[in-house]
Amino acid sequence: MPGLREQLRSDLRDAMRAKDAPRRNTIRMLEAAIKNAEIEKRGAELAEADILAILQRQVKQRNESIEQFLRGGREDLAATERAEIEIIEAYLPRQLSREEVTARAQAVIEQAGATGPGDRGKVMGMLMRELRGEADGSVVNEVVGELLATLDD
Per-residue pLDDT tens over the stretch 20-66:
999 999 999 999 999 999 998 887 788 888 888 899 899 989 999 99
Delimiting residues of CATH 1.10.10.410 domain(s) in the chain? 98-151
Region of 47 on the Ramachandran plot (φ > 0 left; ψ -120 to 50 alpha; else beta): beta
Which of the four CATH numbers 1.10.150.130, 1.20.58.1610, 1.10.3210.10, 1.10.10.410 does domain 98-151 have? Answer: 1.10.10.410
From 102, 91, 90, 89, select the one nearest 131 (Cα to Cα). Answer: 102
Least confident among 93-97, 111-115, 123-127, 149-153: 149-153
Helix residue spans in 18-97 (DSSP H): 21-40, 48-71, 75-89
Q: Do 132 and 95 contact (CB within 8 A), yes or no?
A: no
- pLDDT of the residue at 94: 81
As its CATH architecture, domain 4-89 has: Orthogonal Bundle (1.10)
User: Treating both helix axes as pointing N-terminal to C-terminal, what angle do 21-40 and 4-17 enclose, rounded to 10 degrees?
Assistant: 150
